[in-house]
Chain A
Amino acid sequence: MLLFRSEQHVDRWCQQWNRPRGGTLTLNQGWRLAKEWYADRLSPKWRPKTTAEAQAALARIGLVGEFWRLSG
């Protein structure tokens, strides 16, 4: 996943690389996602999230819908 200046720069990158447009996040959502994923990573009790846990974490920051579905 990459950082872009704007929606227009995302579109330009997709055209350049002949890729369909994917999913986008605001920087605030990106920061919340980073905290959801990594805030507990140094804990001795850390373990990888289950698919259900990861899906719930995405949903908490508003990443819902087909593009953000982790299984299937």
Chain B
Amino acid sequence: MTAPRQSPETYDSHLRQAIYRHFIREGRAPKVVEMAKALFSTVPKIKAGFERLAQSHALVLQENGELWRAAPFSAVPTAFPVRSGKSSWYGNCIWDALGIPAMLQQSAQVPAACGCCNHEMVLEVKNGKLLSQKGIIHFAVPARHWYQDIVFT
């Protein structure tokens, strides 16, 4: 529950943690209205919090103000699914797909594919180690331009 007179920083911290809890529990992104209900807040306040977190690159939003990305999670299906036990999520890219088991500290499978020929490449993380070693990751965009077009990056 949110306190009545908390600072924007504290509010945003609670909001950010609630977003991740929802992703982890439900396997999908929360809607603005769901966050308002979960934090006993209002839709305008949640939207304002989303905006502040997006400005700091903690989130990426869709044009309608709903979540697109809370890295490493993607709110929309991608070519980078991640499975752990009975749970599953989508990463935004191969970095983020590996970031999900790194963040959750859980074993996981990443059923990915070669970006060139779509050959299946299943990566497996087990007990904190990446078991798969065959393959290579390519960054097309130089680091200084990563946030200019984060979707292409």
Contact = CB atoms under 8 A, between A and B. Distances in A.
Interface in A11-51: 12-14, 16, 19, 21-31, 33-35, 37-39, 41-42, 44, 46-48
Interface majority SS (helix, strand, loop, mixed), chain A: mixed
Interface centre among A1, A21, A47, by most B CB within 10 Å? A1
Interface stretch (B29-37, B40-48, B60-68, B109-117): B109-117
Interface majority SS (helix, strand, loop, mixed), chain B: mixed
B54 to A, nearest CB: 11
Contact of A28 (B94, B105, B133, B142): B133
B25 interface: no
A60 to B, nearest CB: 14
A67 B20 contact: no
Interface of A: 1-7, 9-10, 12-14, 16, 19, 21-31, 33-35, 37-39, 41-42, 44, 46-48, 58, 63, 66-72
Contacts of B13: 44
A41 B20 contact: yes
A9 B144 contact: no
19 contacts: A1-B139, A2-B138, A3-B115, A3-B136, A4-B116, A4-B137, A5-B119, A7-B136, A14-B140, A24-B136, A27-B123, A27-B132, A29-B137, A30-B94, A31-B98, A33-B95, A38-B99, A67-B143, A69-B142
A28 B129 CA distance: 9
Contact of A22 (B20, B112, B140): B140
Interface string B82-122: 00000000000111101111111100000011111101010
B130 to A, nearest CB: 4
